[in-house]
Structures are given as C-alpha cells and as structure tokens.
Amino acid sequence: MDHVLWCNKHPLVLPDIVKGEGCYLYDRQGRKYLDLESGIWCLPLGHCHPQINAAIRAQSDEIMHSGYTYGNPIIEETSQALLEILNLPDGKCVFLSSGSEAVEFGVQVLRKISGKPLVLTLSDSFLGSYGSAGKKQADEWVLFDWQRCATCNSSEDCDPQCSYFSEIPFSRIGGFVFEPGSSSGLVRFPPKAFIQNVVKFIRQQDGFIQINEITTGLGRTGKWFGFQHYDISPDIVSVGKGLGNGYPVSAIAMTPEIIQRLSKMGFYYFQSHQNDPLGCAAAKAVIITLQEEEIIQKSKTVTEYLYERLKQLAEKYAIIQEIRGRGLMIAIEFSDRLTDDVLSDLYRRCIQQGLILAKRPGLTVFRIDPPLIIQKEEVDHFLETFDPLLAEVS
Ligand SMILES: Cc1ncc(COP(=O)(O)O)c(C=O)c1O
C-alpha cells in the first residue's frame, strides 16, 4: 500500500483481504476471519450476498448512472420500497452516496424550511464527516449532553421543568437531528421519555424531526429503524451504510409536508451520482431480501443467544464491566483499570485468532455489530475463541 493514503485515523490492520463471504473475510494467505464489525457496520446481509451481487450485476449491464435529466423505473421502485418500510407511503426520497451526505442534506432541508439557524442534536451523536453536520459549530448547533439524564431518578417521565431541559433554547431551534443509539463508539441509547419530550417541544415551536439512521437502520437494533424504539414520527430520515450492503448508496426520505414546503420555497441540491440506478438497484435488493427472508425477525433468536453468552462471560471475568446494546449493536465495556495498551493487545490477539471486533483508540469498549445473518455456530466460534483470550488478560 505504498501509494494509498490511509487517513481515517484507524491503523491498517489487515492489508491483504481478498475475499468476503457471509460473516467471513479471507486474506491472500487463505486465513479466515469472522467479521463481527460488518465492515464499518455496512453489511446487514453479510459480505457478497448472492442476491445483492446479482442485482448489482444485472443493473450494471443495463444502466449504472443516468444523470440529472434521465429517470429510470428502478429509482421509483426503490423509493417506494424504502418509504414502505419507513411507513411514509406518500413521502419522497433522494438517493445519494454516503451517510454524511444524507445527514447533511437533511440538515440543509431543516434550515431551509424552518428559517431558523439553530439545530439541536445530542452531544455524543456522530452525524458525519463534513458540512455543517460534520463540524457542528456553536453558531449553528445546540449540543445537549443527555448523559446527565441517564442517572435521573425521574427519567421514566422526564420532567421538562428540570433545569437541564430548560436550558434548551427551543424557540430558536428549527429542528432536532436524533441518532437513536449513539454509535460514535460507545453504544448508548438515550431515554425514551426524554426524547419524546424533546420531540414534543420542537414541534410546539414549529420545528422538525430528522432521524439519523445511518448506523441504526436496516435492522441493526432489532427493528427496521432505531427511531421505532421511541414511538416518535420523523419528518426526515437519513439512511446509509447497510442500505447498499457494501455498495455506497444512501437515502433521505421526507414526508409529504416537507416536500410541499420545499417545492413552494424552491430547494436545489446537485451531486453527480444523485438517484443513480446502480445504487438504487443495490438498495432495493437489500430491502426486498431483508423483507422476503424475514431476516430481522429471524435474527432475534441468535441475538438473544449472543447476549446470554456475553453476559455469562461478564460474570466470569471481572474485567468486563458491562454488556450493553440493542439488537445486534453491542458494546463490551471493559473495566477502566485496563490500559489502552492492554486492550490494544487483546484486540491484536483477537485478529491473530481470526476474530474481527471493533476497538477505537482511547475507548475501553469493544464493539460487536455482526451481519444480521450470523448463525449460532458463528456465535459459539466467537465465544470459544474469545474466552481464553479474556482469561489471559484477566
Ligand atoms: C451515525 C452515523 N452517522 C453518519 C455517519 C457517516 O456516514 P458515512 O461514513 O457513510 O459518510 C456515520 C458513519 O460512521 C455514522 O455512524
């Protein structure tokens, strides 16, 4: 890799991966790795899923890219499929290329239709790598630290008179961008009552709700979308990562009310690969496969089994402080007595033993976000390999 700039803050751990299949990766030497990270949480159906690859091949033989002025039926079909699972049958979608882009698009829409400069989000939300959502500058964003609510005695009802809540300047905020499960490394889920209050107050001030489903969407948390755990109705939803099962396509879905307002005001967005048929074909195949094979429902049994076995490990090893998660978005929180060097060493040993988990520098958390198609045998293989490695560290 002498001529590739690796500038994503993550070390290049396996430089020679030549094949992916289901939950496994293979390197040039033929070594096999169980991918419990799904790439970067992008593969609900696992690597090189035959139906998705076939759909991509078929579409690429027809037309991949059409441009601003030529449509194709696959764009409408994919839009309908996405709106159906979002329960927004009369809405509209735009297909883009990355999660960051789909979030930023929504933020531009929020600002345009609300006419207000400020947007609210939770301080530990990750919204993307660039644009206003990537920078989250103080003159554009209100960042609320909900961790203070996590220990609140009345978090079941969430009292809006509370001093933390009253800090939020709702009258100057045009919208709330909610990531329904903090995925910036720590896998934490804000309390439902608090989120419902925020949504209520935003709406009382004629603001709008955008959900960032880049990581939590497409079944990752055990439901189609992470916001469905909160009984709230979004105006705008950004979807990415798993939508293409490895192919870079993202989408933004909007309610008819948002579309009506945008049409009245005139809203324009240009990007060369907007609504490309190839990305749409991948996305449609992912949605249909998840639907027809009932992957999300079926993943529940293996998910429960994985939690049960992880909790047994936590009982066995005091170095594990907590197992937390929702669906197949799971964190193993280690004791903060373990240094980063010790955890980095554990991570290296996992790789040597053919296990890919996610470890981010400086965090005492290992993440597990396997493909939703993971089987009990693969969970057993993971835990039988991981257990002795934990024993060594203990
Ligand atoms: C919650 C969330 N939002 C947005 C993004 C940005 O998506 P992308 O990397 O596809 O631009 C990510 C990426 O990790 C993410 O986890």
For the segment 187-206, what is each residue's pLDDT rounded down to a tens digit? 999 999 999 999 999 999 99
Q: Is the predicted pLDDT of residue 10 greater than 90, yes or no?
A: no
Which residue carries 């749409």 as its tokens?
A: 280
- pLDDT confidence of 1, banded at 50, 70, 90? confident
Q: Is 296 in the pocket of ligand 1 (CB under 6 A)?
A: no
- Superfamily name with CATH number, domain 294-393: Aspartate Aminotransferase, domain 1 (3.90.1150.10)
CA of 217 to the centre of ligand 1 (A): 11
pTM score of the predicted model: 0.97
- Of 5-14, 68-77, 129-138, 272-281, least confident by mean pLDDT is 5-14
- Of 24-33, 159-168, 280-289, 318-327, least confident by mean pLDDT is 159-168
Region 26-39: mean pLDDT is 97
Q: Is the predicted pLDDT of residue 383 greater than 90, yes or no?
A: yes
Question: What is the structure's pLDDT at 262?
Answer: 97
Question: What is the structure's pLDDT at 154?
Answer: 66
Q: Is 38 in the pocket of ligand 1 (CB under 6 A)?
A: no
- Which of residues 8 and 232 earns the better pLDDT score? 232
Q: Is the predicted pLDDT of residue 180 greater than 70, yes or no?
A: yes
Which residue carries 């197992």 as its tokens?
A: 323
CA of 380 to the centre of ligand 1 (A): 30
* Contact residues for 42 (Cβ-Cβ < 8 A; gap 6+): 241, 242, 244, 245, 246
Region 362-382: mean pLDDT is 96
Please give the sequence-ordered ranges of beta strands (E in DSSP) within 204-348, or none if there are none.
Answer: 208-212, 236-239, 250-254, 320-326, 329-334
- Which of residues 186 and 285 earns the better pLDDT score? 285
Region 103-109: mean pLDDT is 98
Q: What is the rounded radius of gyration, in angstroms, for the C-alpha atoms of the chain?
A: 21
Q: Which residues in the chain are classed under CATH 3.40.640.10?
A: 51-292
Question: What is the structure's pLDDT at 254?
Answer: 98
Strand, helix or coil for residue 251:
strand
Say how far residue 229 (Cα) sits from the centre of its chain: 14
Percent of residues, the chain, with pLDDT higher than 70: 99
Q: Is the predicted pLDDT of residue 376 greater than 90, yes or no?
A: yes
Q: Which residues in the chain are classed under CATH 3.90.1150.10?
A: 294-393
CA of 100 to the centre of ligand 1 (A): 6
What is the rounded distance in angstroms from the CA atom of residue 166 to the CA atom of residue 54? 53
Positive or negative torsion for Cα 161, 164, 169, 171: negative
- Give pLDDT tens digits for 328-354: 999 999 999 999 999 999 999 999 999
Question: What is the structure's pLDDT at 362?
Answer: 85
Is the CB of residue 24 less than 8 Å from the CB of residue 32?
yes
- pLDDT confidence of 149, banded at 50, 70, 90? confident
- Give pLDDT tens digits for 251-298: 999 999 999 999 999 999 999 999 999 999 999 999 999 999 999 999
* Contact residues for 303 (Cβ-Cβ < 8 A; gap 6+): 222, 327, 328
Give me 288's structure tokens: 């249909």
Q: Is 99 in the pocket of ligand 1 (CB under 6 A)?
A: yes
CA of 130 to the centre of ligand 1 (A): 10
Mutate which of 215, 227, 247, 329 for ligand 1? The one with the most ligand atoms within 8 Å of its CB, which is 215
Question: What is the structure's pLDDT at 214?
Answer: 98
Mean pLDDT of the chain: 96
- pLDDT confidence of 155, banded at 50, 70, 90? low
What is the rounded distance in angstroms from the CA atom of residue 115 to the CA atom of residue 246? 36
Q: Is the predicted pLDDT of residue 66 greater than 90, yes or no?
A: yes
CATH T-level assignment (fold) for domain 51-292: Aspartate Aminotransferase; domain 2 (3.40.640)
Give me 245's structure tokens: 């099962």
What burial class does residue 163 get, using C-beta atoms within 10 Å of its C-beta: 0-12 exposed, 13-18 middle, 19+ buried? exposed
Region 19-47: mean pLDDT is 98
* Contact residues for 344 (Cβ-Cβ < 8 A; gap 6+): 359
Percent of residues, the chain, with pLDDT higher than 90: 91
- Which H or E element spans position 173? strand 173-178
